[in-house]
Chain A
Amino acid sequence: MCNPAHFQIRKVTREFNVNGEKLTALDAVSLDIAEGEFVTIVGASGCGKSTLLRLGAGLDTTYSGRISHEGKVVTGPSLDRGMVFQEPRLFPWLTVERNVALGLENSKFTKSEKKRLVEEHLELVGLAGFARAYPHQLSGGMAQRAGIARGLVNRPNVLFLDEPFGALDAITKARLQDELNDIWARERITMVLVTHDVEEAVYLGDRVVVMSPRPGRIRDIVAVDLPRPRERTSAALARVRTRVLESLNSTESKPSVGPRLVEGERGSKSGPLRPAVALAN
């Protein structure tokens, strides 16, 4: 976390045209992500969190504002930025190992290096025994592991994950969260994960970015200063979770519901660009 300008999002606005009406998906959003940081983004559906992720990954380039990665403006996808989608999006006609190898298609590694990298990453996500299987032979969790391996195999500088565990059952989800946490801890790749699951956001993130919908804005940024590996049931984590939930609830446009404050917590009706708040461990 030595370089604060590692990944910068500056006053980014993205508008969509829906049936002739202008819809502001993101409204002047700014966010700095440090190298090696694990940032999670939560918000209700329609808050623009996935839009923000796609802009960061360079999959969508029609925006105003500025997004830069290591000082270079993002103008499209790059092999330095990996992407893991909500659906595994594996190519059904390729085996698992060849699906993972797709991530290396345009890299400069030699053939033997590519082979080794694919093997290593299959090992990393626990799919070593399924290299020759076809996607339809995998369970949902295994397919998503393969998707993560494909995103990681090229050693990207930043990995974007768009609700990667959204479609999985609770047990598989918890296991994959732990595995992702281990991978992050070992590889020190910057990770940006979008989710609608507050528990997941708090469990994995160094910072949790809370977004509010219509128009999509950053409502709050909550730092999670807790040592890893974290305990899902710890009181400290629960406090952070409550804090994030508070923020989320205050973003709902229902003013009649009063703020439910937790003891020891100050009410935080923060502006869109509120600086990170460190919580006691």
Chain B
Amino acid sequence: MTATTASARLVRFRRGVTLPIVLLIAWEISSRTGLVDPRFLPSLDEVALTAKRELFDNDLIGELGYSLMRNIAGFLIGSVAGVAFATLLALSRIADRLITPTFNGLKQISLLAWIPLISVWFGFGEQAKVVFVALAAFIPIVLNTYEGMRNVPADLIEVGGALRFSWRQRILRIFLPSALPSIATGVHLGLIYSWLATVGAEYFLAVGPGVGGLIIAGRERFDMALVMLGVMILGLVGFFLNRLAYALESHLLRWRPQLG
């Protein structure tokens, strides 16, 4: 049983990495054979050399650290505020009537459109970036949490009534756990969006330390290897954040039969 799942996992892994490897090979061939101008698409070993240089001579880890810190801070603020806000909307009829229509209107506005406002309100520095990241995480988490809380089975709410649950108990024992699958979906999306927003904030707000700043520096110096390196790091971090979200989700939802 375990042997078959292990080999099945290996097969799946092999299939998953096939396309990236093919792309890397195609990249290498095209840059070596002069199919493309190496100034536009640097060769793989040039990117590797740049990576080595950035890693040891410059502070690549530090730059990545800055971006991740910003990402995590914004994500945490956005998700805590998002779950709390959605709980309020879902459980208070008056708050729902007053706020939800406005929220539904505001959420249609592109995140990038907030940047001028955020920069006026919070400046161009670290604070503005974290606010932007938090907003990016906030919206999907509010939407999904709200949806999950609205779909809590009335049967279970009634059990809480029969057992004389207080409001606090209802929220902690019934609404939050019951909405957890939806909240997890929201958190998952929030994690991805907040990483996108982290890079967006570094692009559009003032240049500071971070992977986004690295890419901008690469563009300005026409150092395409540095740009490629930055892009690859963004992709890799995004990939691992996604895996992390999956792992967290299946751990939190282990009581569900389909996720085992």
Interface, chain A (partner B; CB < 8 A): 57, 59, 77-79, 83, 85, 87, 89, 91-94, 102-103, 105-106, 134, 136-137
Interface residues of B (CB under 8 A from A): 155-156, 158-159, 161-166, 169, 173-174, 177-178, 180, 255-257
Main secondary structure of the interface of A (DSSP, over half): loop
**Residue in B159, B180, B257 with the greatest tally of chain A CB atoms within 10 Å:** B159
Residues of A within 8 A of B165 (CB): 105-106
Contact between B155 and A91, CB atoms less than 8 A apart? no
Provide the residues of chain B in CB contact with A94, threshold 8 Å: 177, 255
Which of A83, A89, A134 is within 8 Å of B156, CB to CB?
A89
23 CB contacts below 8 A, A to B, read A57-B162, A77-B163, A79-B164, A83-B162, A85-B155, A85-B159, A89-B156, A91-B156, A91-B173, A91-B174, A92-B256, A93-B177, A94-B177, A102-B163, A102-B173, A105-B163, A105-B165, A105-B173, A106-B166, A134-B255, A136-B255, A136-B257, A137-B257
CB-CB under 8 A from A78, the residues of chain B are 164
Chain B residues within 8 Å of A92, by CB: 255-256
Contacting pair A59 B177 (CB below 8 A):
no
Is there contact, CB below 8 Å, between B162 and A77? yes
A85 CA to B155 CA, complexed, in Å? 9
| Distance A72 CA – B255 CA, assembled complex (angstroms) | 41
CA distance A151 to B122 in the complex (A): 55
Contact B169 A105 (CB under 8 A): yes
Q: Smallest distance from the beta carbon of A244 to chain B beta carbons, Å?
A: 29
* Cβ–Cβ contact B256 & A91, under 8 A: no
What are the residues of chain B within 8 A of A136 when measuring CB–CB?
A: 255-257
A171 and B176 CA atoms in complex are apart in Å by 37
> In the complex, what residue of chain B is closest to A91 when comparing beta carbons?
B156
Chain A residue with minimal CB distance to B166?
A: A106
Cα A59 to Cα B158 with chains together (Å): 8
Chain B positions within 8 Å of A57 at CB level:
162
Q: What chain B residues lie within 8 Å of A106 (beta carbons)?
A: 163-166, 169
Which chain B residues border A93 with CB–CB below 8 Å? 177-178, 180, 255
Q: Residues of A contacting B255 with CB < 8 Å?
A: 92-94, 134, 136
A59 x B162 contact (CB < 8 A):
yes
User: Closest approach, in angstroms, between the C-beta of A204 and any C-beta of chain B?
Assistant: 22
What is the bound-complex CA distance between A39 and B1, given in angstroms?
52
Chain B residues whose C-beta falls within 8 Å of the C-beta of A79 in the assembled complex: 163-164
Which of B159, B166, B169, B173 is the one whose CB lies under 8 Å from A89? Answer: B159
- Please tell me if the beta carbons of A87 and B155 are within 8 angstroms of each other in the complex: yes
Tell me how far the C-beta of A145 lies from the nearest C-beta in chain B, rounded to whole angstroms.
16
Q: Chain B contacts of A87 at CB under 8 A?
A: 155
**Among the listed A59, A91, A134, A137, which residue makes an inter-chain contact with B161, where contact means beta carbons less than 8 Å apart?**
A59
Q: Which chain A positions have C-beta within 8 A of B169? A: 105-106
Complex CA–CA separation, A90 to B218 (angstroms)? 58
Please give, as numbers and ranges, the residues of chain A lying within 8 Å of B174 by CB-CB distance: 91
Other than A89-B159, A137-B257, give 9 A-B pairs with Cβ distance below 8 A.
Answer: A77-B164, A79-B164, A87-B155, A89-B155, A89-B156, A91-B173, A94-B177, A105-B163, A136-B255
Chain B residues with CB below 8 A from A105, complex form: 163, 165, 169, 173
Q: Which residues of B contact A137 (CB under 8 A)?
A: 257
- Give the distance in Å from the alpha carbon of A59 to the alpha carbon of B163 in the complex: 10
- Most A CB within 10 A of own CB, among B163, B165, B173, B255: B163
Q: CB < 8 Å: which of B156, B161, B166 contacts A77?
A: B161
State in angstroms the CA–CA spacing of A105 and B164 once bound together: 9
Given contacts A92-B255, A93-B255, contact A103 B163 (CB under 8 A): yes
> Please, which residues of chain A bring their CB within 8 A of the CB of B164?
77-79, 106
Q: How far is the CA of A83 from the CA of B164 in the complex (A)?
A: 12
Q: How far does the alpha carbon of A78 sit from the alpha carbon of B255 in the complex, in Å?
A: 30
Chain A residues whose C-beta falls within 8 Å of the C-beta of B257 in the assembled complex: 136-137
Shortest B181–chain A CB gap in Å is 10
State the 9 A-B residue pairs at the shortest beta-carbon distance, nearest first.
A136-B257, A93-B177, A83-B162, A93-B255, A77-B162, A134-B255, A106-B164, A89-B159, A89-B155
Q: Which residues of A contact B158 (CB under 8 A)?
A: 59, 85, 89
Question: Which residue from chain A places its CB closest to the CB of B153 in the assembled complex?
Answer: A89
**Measured between alpha carbons, how far is A77 from B163 in the docked complex, in Å?**
7
Q: Which residues of B contact A91 (CB under 8 A)?
A: 156, 159, 173-174, 177-178
Q: How far is the CA of A59 from the CA of B256 in the complex (A)?
A: 29
Give the distance in Å from the alpha carbon of A94 to the alpha carbon of B164 in the complex: 18
Question: What chain A residues lie within 8 Å of B178 (beta carbons)?
Answer: 91, 93
- B80 CB to closest chain A CB (Å) equals 21
